[in-house]
């Protein structure tokens, strides 16, 4: 498999000749050699025009312009490389990259690395990599010469990796044929990676080289090397958000496979959601061998069991790293929360719905019947060989729907505190405490010097507890001696507990907890009270009632008790149990409730703010929109878990919070989760309340958008009856507008017009301008469907004007698209194209996927009308893909109908018949009579065998 770099950009800059600094003749070879490899299809895969070599005599402005241009256009990997002299600014701190004109007394002639960092941090590229080969290059890491670590606190580029030739206090070396560091990098990319790697894998088994593998290989190759009596410095690397997993190039070494892939493997379909084991993972070879042998069987089920905190999850991840290449369908890690304290085990059928959604299934492909959903999941696993990691399982009942069918090409590895004897397993591994020698090896990997005395005694004292390894290793790195740590563990409670692993975990937790000051202990209480599954510093600050910046800094002091992934935190389930017990012992129940209510308020207002930005910000406020979308991406799971917890509290704003959450999920096309929240509202509110009516009205929206029109009408009519009984004129108007939408979708235009006009009159009486705009737009739809295009154009222009006055970019985009519909049907194709492209740009800014799909489909219609059939097919296929991802059956039918029309015009009658039949059947499923009629008429007009 070759690395895929479409959408990627690279900027290479090397300076060998200087006006005021010593020449570095070897550097002249760096950029040409590196560029040749990066643009080679069998190595780097970059397009030649997208791999820019900046001339060696360029100014700082020219380099930064090149980096900025690449950052703007990169969607895959953004790579920046520099080689030359490195020096520091006047403050002696900021790293400067020398240009030809650089001189020590005029730092403005050099490139400030902070400028490069800022451009990289602002890029929307999926991956970002900076490679710096110069003296003091470690200054780009802000690592102060420390070893590589994941997510260093001072590294400001998210989702990225910085690789340097030296620490910030060391000088890099250069030879006549190239700088030592880059020369070794070029050889690695040219010849590939072979031999045994530190984690037990072999280089020739790797198809691509990630940044972690490049870094480890360079460290190994340069270790102990000298040049003319000077020691070659060790490379340094810092990453954030799994930056170590960024693929840089194809491994050109001859490929060999350690095992044979299962028969019937199909192309990748599922996402890779499994995390990598930590770089400190050690030992467990017997267990790894047993798992490798068992997973080779079709439909293998493997169980790893043991007490909490023994490293079961890490073992599964380490095994997955070896076995994942055998499963082209993906490697999926799922936390079932079976033993997470004070948390219900996850519903396996909801898990199936989530995983199918992640694998690209639209809502209409995920059955509501639970038995059918399980069958759909097993069919998916049968078609796509997937390696499942089911972590923290409760019992066989929870696992039963998730297990692949017998003979499936997929396999599952399970971790649990239970032995799961009721489950038929190919192999069971009982995880015992880690042997002392392996504990010592872990500490050495963490950086504890090999000649440190007393480590084996310390490993014996903690009884091989994996949970205790991190806290003890951290204290060793901070300068504490094994003798001193042993003395702190000499208390009677600690010794009494060590024979049992559970007690060892408890002791390890309290040892770390008691080392914290009062302020940090208070933060641990907030972590314990958080509903999960993870949280950011903002949420914890809200719970504690303290500034976010302060909490963010203080959290770095207790990371030994926390799991950190991409600036999100969580407590290991064992630590969570002890933390909650400790919080309960030190705090009154009222404190927990007050803390959680502050969290409810924080997430509610944050969610409202993000949605308001996306709903009302002008298109040129892209930075605000990007921040809002990032907030939603980071907080969606936390918001849902918190909403469920809030539903059991007496917080006065609970229902408003749940309504906001359900609306947000609905807008994000997460209809199953939105429906679940709405049913929660129905469960906790009085039957005759306005909240019940609102929830039922929203359920109508969910049914409508999924094409379940009968259920939508039932919901809207029920809501209307309730609103009338409650005396809510706005609710009545909304329900009537919803009924109009369903009538229009099903082709009952007269009924739709009556409903829209009724709703419009009610909105006008209420002075509801947004409702008036929506109802007016609906009337325009009816006019358009009935061929009254002049009236439709007037209605759409009226709606557009109203939306502009309201500052509603989504409303403006919808009305603009509808005006394009009128232009198109009247043959004004240029005006239609302009309108659709304008609407598409607005939808893209808003992140509105359904709007993007609709506008793309309409552009296909224009292309077809103008005889640009290839462009029409491209647009229809693009729209179809988008509709499938959204689960919009009506959209899919429309796009497939468009493809059928193009095939018919171009004489591909068999393809046309297939497409028209598919569209007709989809229309029939959702009761769109007009669509069925149009498709059947087109089929009847076809000549030849395709018409039979």
The per-residue DSSP string of 202-229 comes to BGGG-SEEEHHHHHHHHHHHHTT-EETT
Residue 217 vs residues 184, 223, 325: alpha-carbon distances, Å: 9, 10, 21
SS3 905: helix
Place of tokens 């980096």: 67
Beta bridge partners of 303: 414, 428
Q: Is the peptide bond before 533 cis (omega within 30 degrees of 0)?
A: yes
Could you tell me the maximum CA-CA distance found in the chain, to the nearest angstrom? 92
| 124 phi/psi in degrees, rounded to 5 | -95, 10
H or E stretch covering 289: helix 285-295
Place of tokens 């290479």: 12
Q: Tokens in use for 258?
A: 């350690």
Rounded to whole angstroms, how far apart are CA atoms 836 and 830? 10
Place of tokens 């009816």: 782
Rounded to whole angstroms, how far apart are CA atoms 369 and 786? 38
CA atoms within 13 A on the CB side of 352: 27
Q: If you ran DSSP here, which 8-state letter would residue 138 be given?
A: G
Beta bridge partners of 84: none
Q: Tokens in use for 720?
A: 């209307």
- Quick count: other Cβ atoms within 10 Å of Cβ 589? 8
- Determine how β-strand 247-250 pairs with β-strand 208-210: antiparallel
**Of 725, 723, 700, 722, which is closest to residue 711 (Cα–Cα)?**
700
Q: Which residues fall within 8 angstroms of residue 928, CB to CB, at 6 or more apart?
A: 745, 746, 747, 890, 893
**How buried is 430 (Cβ within 10 angstroms: 0-12 exposed, 13-18 middle, 19+ buried)?**
exposed
**Residue spans of alpha helices (H) in 447-564:** 455-461, 466-477, 482-488, 492-497, 501-514, 518-529, 537-544, 548-555
Beta bridge partners of 335: 391
Place of tokens 């078609």: 383
Alpha-carbon radius of gyration of the chain: 31
CA atoms within 13 A on the CB side of 333: 20
- Quick count: other Cβ atoms within 10 Å of Cβ 547? 11
Place of tokens 């207002």: 605
Report angle CA 726, 731, 736 to the nearest 5 degrees. Answer: 120
Rounded to whole angstroms, how far apart are CA atoms 801 and 734? 21
**How buried is 32 (Cβ within 10 angstroms: 0-12 exposed, 13-18 middle, 19+ buried)?**
middle
Place of tokens 């080779």: 296
Dihedral through CA 654, CA 660, CA 666, CA 667, nearest 10? -170
**Of 124, 122, 157, which is closest to residue 141 (Cα–Cα)?**
157
Three-class DSSP labels, 673-708: HHHHHHHHHHHHCCCCCHHHHHHHHHHHHHHHHCCC
- Determine how β-strand 9-14 pairs with β-strand 77-83: parallel
Dihedral through CA 410, CA 344, CA 555, CA 280, nearest 10? -30
CA atoms within 13 A on the CB side of 875: 25
- Quick count: other Cβ atoms within 10 Å of Cβ 932? 20
Q: If you ran DSSP here, which 8-state letter would residue 781 be given?
A: H
Mean pLDDT in order along the chain per 10 residues (948 residues) = 84 95 92 93 92 95 95 94 91 87 91 93 91 92 41 45 90 90 94 77 84 88 87 86 80 68 42 74 88 83 81 88 85 84 83 83 80 86 89 91 88 88 87 84 85 85 72 78 76 40 61 79 93 92 94 79 78 74 92 95 94 67 80 91 94 95 86 92 94 94 88 94 95 95 91 94 93 93 91 92 88 92 91 93 84 93 93 94 84 94 92 93 85 91 55
Three-class DSSP labels, 5-64: CCCCEEEEEECCCCCCCCCCHHHHHHHHHHHHHHCCCCCCCCCHHHEEEECCCCCHHHHH
Beta bridge partners of 571: 562
H or E stretch covering 671: helix 671-684
Counting every residue written for the chain, the total comes to 948
Phi-psi region for residue 447, left (φ > 0), alpha (ψ -120 to 50) or beta? left
**Of 542, 518, 558, which is closest to residue 604 (Cα–Cα)?**
542
SS3 569: strand
**Has this prediction a pTM greater than 0.75?**
no
């Amino acid at each position: 498999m070759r690395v895929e770099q479409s959408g990627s950009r690279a900027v290479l800059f090397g300076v060998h000749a200087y006006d005021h600094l010593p020449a570095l003749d070897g550097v002249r070879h760096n950029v040409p050699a590196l560029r040749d490899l990066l643009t080679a299809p069998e190595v780097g895969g970059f397009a030649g025009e997208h791999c820019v070599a900046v001339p060696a005599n360029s100014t700082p402005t020219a380099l930064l312009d090149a980096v900025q241009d690449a950052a703007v256009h990169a969607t895959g990997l953004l790579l920046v490389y520099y080689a030359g002299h490195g020096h520091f600014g006047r403050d002696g701190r900021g790293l400067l990259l020398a240009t030809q004109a650089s001189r020590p007394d005029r730092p403005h002639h050099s490139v400030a690395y902070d400028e490069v960092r800022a451009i990289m941090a602002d890029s929307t590229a999926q991956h970002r990599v900076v490679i710096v080969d110069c003296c003091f290059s470690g200054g780009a890491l802000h690592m102060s010469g420390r070893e590589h670590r994941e997510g260093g606190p001072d590294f400001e580029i998210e989702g990225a990796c910085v690789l340097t030739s030296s620490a910030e206090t060391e000088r890099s070396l250069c030879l006549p044929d190239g700088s030592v560091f880059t020369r070794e990098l070029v050889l690695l990319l040219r010849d590939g990676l072979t031999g045994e790697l530190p984690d037990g894998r072999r280089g020739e088994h790797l198809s691509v080289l990630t940044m972690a593998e490049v870094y480890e290989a360079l460290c190994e190759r340069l270790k102990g090397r000298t040049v003319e009596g000077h020691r070659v410095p060790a490379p340094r690397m810092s990453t954030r958000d799994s930056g170590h997993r960024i693929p840089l190039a194809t491994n050109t070494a001859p490929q060999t496979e350690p095992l044979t892939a299962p028969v019937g493997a199909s192309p990748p379909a599922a996402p890779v959601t499994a995390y990598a084991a930590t770089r400190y993972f050690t030992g467990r070879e017997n267990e790894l061998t047993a798992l490798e042998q068992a997973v080779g069987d079709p439909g293998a089920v493997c169980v790893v069991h043991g007490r909490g905190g023994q490293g079961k999850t890490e073992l599964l991840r380490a095994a997955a790293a070896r076995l994942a290449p055998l499963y082209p369908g993906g490697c999926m890690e799922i936390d079932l929360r079976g033993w997470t304290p004070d948390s219900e085990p996850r519903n396996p059928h909801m898990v199936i719905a989530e995983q199918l959604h992640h694998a690209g299934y639209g809502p209409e492909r995920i059955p509501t019947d639970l038995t059918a959903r399980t069958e759909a999941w097993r069919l998916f696993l049968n078609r796509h060989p997937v390696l499942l990691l089911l972590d923290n399982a409760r019992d066989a009942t929870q696992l039963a729907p998730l297990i692949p069918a017998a003979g499936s090409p997929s396999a599952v590895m399970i971790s649990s505190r239970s032995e799961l004897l009721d489950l038929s397993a190919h192999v069971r591994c009982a995880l015992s405490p880690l042997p002392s020698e392996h504990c010592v090896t872990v500490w050495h990997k963490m950086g504890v010097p090999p000649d440190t005395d007393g480590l084996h005694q310390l490993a014996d004292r903690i009884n091989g507890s994996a949970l205790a390894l991190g806290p003890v290793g951290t204290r060793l790195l901070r300068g504490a001696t094994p003798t001193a740590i042993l003395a702190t563990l000499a208390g009677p409670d600690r010794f009494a507990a060590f024979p049992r692993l559970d007690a060892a975990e408890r002791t390890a937790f309290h040892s770390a907890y008691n080392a914290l000051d009062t302020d940090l202990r208070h933060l641990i209480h907030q972590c314990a009270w958080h509903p999960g599954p993870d949280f950011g510093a903002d949420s914890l600050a809200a719970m504690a009632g303290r500034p976010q910046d302060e909490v963010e800094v203080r959290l770095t002091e207790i990371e030994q008790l926390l799991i950190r992934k991409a600036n999100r935190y969580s407590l290991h389930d064992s630590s969570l149990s002890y933390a909650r017990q400790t919080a309960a012992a030190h705090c009154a129940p009222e404190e927990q409730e007050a803390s959680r209510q502050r969290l409810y308020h924080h997430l509610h207002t944050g969610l409202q703010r993000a949605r308001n930005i996306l709903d009302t910000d002008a298109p040129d406020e892209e930075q605000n929109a990007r921040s809002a979308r990032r907030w939603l991406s980071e907080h969606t799971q936390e918001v849902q878990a918190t909403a469920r917890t809030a539903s059991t509290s007496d917080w006065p704003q609970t229902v408003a919070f749940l309504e906001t959450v359900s609306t947000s999920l609905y807008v994000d096309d997460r209809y199953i989760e939105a429906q679940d929240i709405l049913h929660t509202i129905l469960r906790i509110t009085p039957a005759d309340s306005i909240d019940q009516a609102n929830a039922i009205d929203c359920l109508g929206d969910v049914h409508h958008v999924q094409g379940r029109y009968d259920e939508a009408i039932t919901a809207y009519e029920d809501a209307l009856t309730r609103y009338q009984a409650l005396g809510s004129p706005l609710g009545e108007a909304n329900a009537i507008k919803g009924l109009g939408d369903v009538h229009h979708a099903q082709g009952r235009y007269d009924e739709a017009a009556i409903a829209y006009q009724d709703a419009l009159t009610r909105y006008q009486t209420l002075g509801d301008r947004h409702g008036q705009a929506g109802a007016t737009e609906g009337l325009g739809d009816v006019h358009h469907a009935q061929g009254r295009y002049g009236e439709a154009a007037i209605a759409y222009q009226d709606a557009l004007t109203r939306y502009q006055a309201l500052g509603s970019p989504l409303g403006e985009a919808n009305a603009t698209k509808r005006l394009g519909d009128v232009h198109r049907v009247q043959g004004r194709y240029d005006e239609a194209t302009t309108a659709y492209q304008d609407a598409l740009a607005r939808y893209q800014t808003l992140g509105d996927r359904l709007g993007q799909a609709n506008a793309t489909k309409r552009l296909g219609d224009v292309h077809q009308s103008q005889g640009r059939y290839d462009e029409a097919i491209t647009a229809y296929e693009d729209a179809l893909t988008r509709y499938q991802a959204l689960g919009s059956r009506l959209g899919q039918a429309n796009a497939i109908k468009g493809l059928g029309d193009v095939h018919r015009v171009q004489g591909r009658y068999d393809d046309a018949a297939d497409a028209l039949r598919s569209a007709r059947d989809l229309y029939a499923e959702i009761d769109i009579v007009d669509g069925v009629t149009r498709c059947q008429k087109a089929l009847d007009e076809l000549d030849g065998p395709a018409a039979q």
